[in-house]
Structure 1
Amino acid sequence: MMDRHGVPAHPNNFMVWYAFVADRNPDLTKAVNGILRAGQKFSDDICADLYERFFGTSQHEAELRAVGKRIEDAVARVLEYLVTANAGAAQYGEALQNFSGELEVKDAADLGVLVRSILDETKMMIEVNRQLEQRLETSSSEIARLREDLDQLKREATTDALTGLANRKLFDVALREAALESEEERKFLSLLMIDIDFFKNFNDTHGHMLGDQVLKLVARTISDSIKGKDTAARYGGEEFAIILPDTRLKDAVAVADNIRRLVASRKVLNRRTGQVLGQVTLSIGVAEYEFGETLGAFVHRADEALYLSKRQGRNRVMSQDDLTSTSHLEFDDGE
């Protein structure tokens, strides 16, 4: 397939196309199929973008590694300080033993000299301990700062910058954990896949800045509508996802319809001109986890319900119970 589509025989490209042919990553499959359907050539830029999006090392990951290395260095310094202190304590202990032996054989006249020597060793040990305390305090403060940096980087690496919701990476982790808990404790688990109707048309008509405001509006409504262990994420583009642990299908449908109605009740306003730009509506698909199934099948079923809601006219919620034989049809993501 690489030869057929003129893809250079490069290790990164092999990784992308192996995963595509093996169907190991639904999003990668969707991206490559989209390029194929559009009749685009797999230029060097497109190949590099595919690799970076699905297999590349992000800037956040590089920063995390850098902070991790700084923490390792700080801990190594602490260990070095402790080794030095241990050596000093051992030397001091040996000196005391020697003085103890000398006390047995020394005359009373030499005791003053011996005591002064002991005092000098003791003062030296006190100074070593004082320096160690200062160094440990400095290192402790440095490690605390680095920990804060690390926590911040982790938040940034798992949060969508525009909406403040979890990003796709955190969604994948949260879904795996929720499915595992569902399996182990035999609890219900539901998933909502949400898409903004005609978002591409809105963006093309009113511009990306107002499009971003719509994304923020939807994200805020979603965030206000969930609670507890629920996880809301920006799945990609104008698509969102919500993981609902301990929630059966009918209750998840109710949550979805509440979100749909709240968004539909709001008007999009251009704050600069005061112009009402229209109404935002959502199409939502809902699925319930089946014990033992793959996460890919779970997400796919929710996606199929989402596509069905679009086929039925948009601005509605459809669940896996509503799926029909026409659910295999594909629709443009912007619609």
Structure 2
Amino acid sequence: MHYTDTIDDSRQYLRLALELIGKHGLPTDPLNYCIWYEYASGRNEHLNQSIDEHIKKNGSFSVDVLRQIYNQHVIGQAETVTHLVREELKKVFAEIIGTIKTTRQDFSESENKLESINDALVPDLPEADVEKIVHRIKQEINNLEVSSSSFREQLRQATHEIDQLKLKMARYRKAALKDPLTRVANRRGFEDTLKEAIGKTGGAGSPLCLIIADIDHFKKVNDTHGHLVGDNVLRMVAATIKDSIKGRDLVARIGGEEFAILLPDTPIDGAEKLAENMRLTFEAIDLKKKNSGESLGQVTLSFGVTMYRHGEPTEAFIQRADEALYQSKETGRNQVTRF
């Protein structure tokens, strides 16, 4: 297995994994940690599906079940989606080629039989023999129709399987661009979308704005109330930002408590207004613990806003938004700064 998780992501997955291990009353041994780290990261679709189905049917896990899941979905997991798809495509093509060979053989045999029938059509052929030959011809035509029908069905099935592989690849790609905790885009998803958005700005420079937001004093939330509460705060922030944007706009979690909001076709004044509206929304939220109703106090965000300058490097665009965010932090937090 090869992991490329950032330090922040790996810490997040660790917390989630330990939470799940404790929830199911399992020992924190390397096998369980590996299984639940994979589950928390969301990268292993088949493992997650297997665990979810087992929980739904049985609720608890035995050592044998966990070992089976580990062997099947961790050790036996292909390293890349490309490899998985390639192997499945090999099977599909093997079936198609086998059907082609069988169909070719059927046609060849029918060709030989029809030639022999043709040779039997000699002058002065008795009527009874003519009837036999007509019957044989009908039989061979029927055989050819069956072979052709089987071949068409095999091609239809192969097309269906290839379509399913395309859907599987799309799901893997989508999962790889999502943050497993907040279910918004991750940094890779943000960078891919940013690159595409910059490419669409064109020579005329249709506006493209970027907001970077950071939760104020988030460490205090974790230290005071624990990481599970901190995780819920992150989910709430992501969901609130997502509800505030529309269309082709994108929200991504790009760091521990840092979010990026990408706004294609949005002028700088509109981006600044959106950031201010979000700031006021968060300022008005009174967060409480679900189980006790205990107030968590006010959770505010600081914002940095900027607009893309045609032809500038991507790094400069992001850095300017970061600098604007830093200015908001330095001048008291819970503010919007536009650069």
What's the TM-score, normalizing by structure 2? 0.69
Do the aligned partners of 2:110 and 2:140 also contact (CA within 8 Å) in 1? no
| Higher mean C-alpha displacement, 311-320 vs 120-129 | 120-129
Alignment equivalent of 1:69, drawn from 61, 86, 93: 86
Are 2:259 and 1:259 aligned? Answer: no
Write the mapping of 1:290-309 to structure 2, written as runs, cut at 5 A. 290-309=309-328
Alignment equivalent of 1:108, drawn from 103, 106, 125: 125
Question: Across the two proteins, how many residue pairs are aligned to each other?
Answer: 267
Alignment-derived partner of residue 176 in structure 2:
157
Q: Tell me the distance in 1 between the aligned counterparts of 2:92 and 2:247.
A: 36
Alignment equivalent of 2:242, drawn from 223, 235, 238: 223
Alignment-derived partner of residue 87 in structure 1:
104
Do the aligned partners of 1:197 and 1:282 also contact (CA within 8 Å) in 2? yes
Structure 2 unaligned regions, length at least 5: 8-42, 46-77
Write the mapping of 1:134-149 to structure 2, written as runs, cut at 5 A. 134-149=153-168
Alignment-derived partner of residue 277 in structure 1:
296
Distance 1:313 1:182, change over 3 A: same
Do the aligned partners of 1:99 and 1:114 also contact (CA within 8 Å) in 2? no
Deviations along 1:115-167, one digit per CA (max 9) or x if unpaired, are 34323322332332343344345444444444443333222111111111111
Structure 1 unaligned regions, length at least 5: 1-11, 17-26, 29-57, 321-335
Do the aligned partners of 1:85 and 1:132 also contact (CA within 8 Å) in 2? no
CA positional deviation for 1:95: 4.4
Distance 1:198 1:106, change over 3 A: farther
Q: Tell me the distance in 1 between the aligned counterparts of 2:191 and 2:123.
A: 76
Deviations along 1:12-47, one digit per CA (max 9) or x if unpaired, are 9xxx9xxxxxxxxxx99xxxxxxxxxxxxxxxxxxx
What SS does the corresponding residue of 1:264 show, helix, strand or coil?
helix
Q: Tell me the distance in 2 between the aligned counterparts of 1:209 and 1:247.
A: 36
Alignment-derived partner of residue 263 in structure 2:
244
Q: Tell me the distance in 2 between the aligned counterparts of 1:199 and 1:273.
A: 21
Structure 2 letter corresponding to 1:83 = I
What SS does the corresponding residue of 1:191 show, helix, strand or coil?
strand
Do the aligned partners of 2:302 and 2:336 also contact (CA within 8 Å) in 1? yes
Deviations along 1:52-97, one digit per CA (max 9) or x if unpaired, are xxxxxx7689452244224423541464156336625753774487
Tell me the percent identity.
36
Q: Tell me the distance in 2 between the aligned counterparts of 1:276 and 1:284.
A: 24
Do the aligned partners of 2:103 and 2:147 also contact (CA within 8 Å) in 1? no
CA positional deviation for 1:236: 1.7
Do the aligned partners of 2:110 and 2:144 also contact (CA within 8 Å) in 1? no
Are 2:115 and 1:98 aligned? Answer: yes
Distance 1:111 1:283, change over 3 A: same
Query: What do you get for the CA RMSD once the two structures are aligned?
Result: 3.0
